[in-house]
Amino acid sequence: MVAQLRDMHGRLRDGRSLTNGQVRLLLDGIGGFLKALDGGDQASLDRSIGLKSWGGVSAARQDALNRRDDMLRQLYREIEGWRDLPPSAAARMMSLDAKRYEARRWPREGEDFDPPPIEPARTWWKILTAGATIPGAKRLQQILQVEIQDGV
């Protein structure tokens, strides 16, 4: 949802039209808010649009995870030794590299320094600096398989 809002914001800022799906999202969200308000219920625009819900992953957390996953997929595409491997093998290699980085370099480089100049350390630094975790091999494999399925 946050990704949709970012896209809508950019479109409106640049004077471009929203997609039909985005228009429907706004109409449904505003309609739900007005219906709750008119019905005497507790009206919440962020809940009506889907930014807030009971339980589950918050929109902010989901946005952070999506950004992290995008960085991991990009890293998979960029690193020569990984991009030619199937997701399962690449995920194991990426996980080992990330664990080494976290144990050896991250304590020295940390948030107070500039990002490392080369990959994959740069991506590990960005993920950790954002307060996210680097997933283990099994989750990494799932993330990388989305790359192949979507053809991104």
Q: How would residue 46 be classed by pLDDT, with cut points 50, 70 and 90?
A: confident
Contact between 33 and 43 (Cβ < 8 Å): yes
- pLDDT, tens only, 102-127: 999 988 887 778 889 999 999 999 99
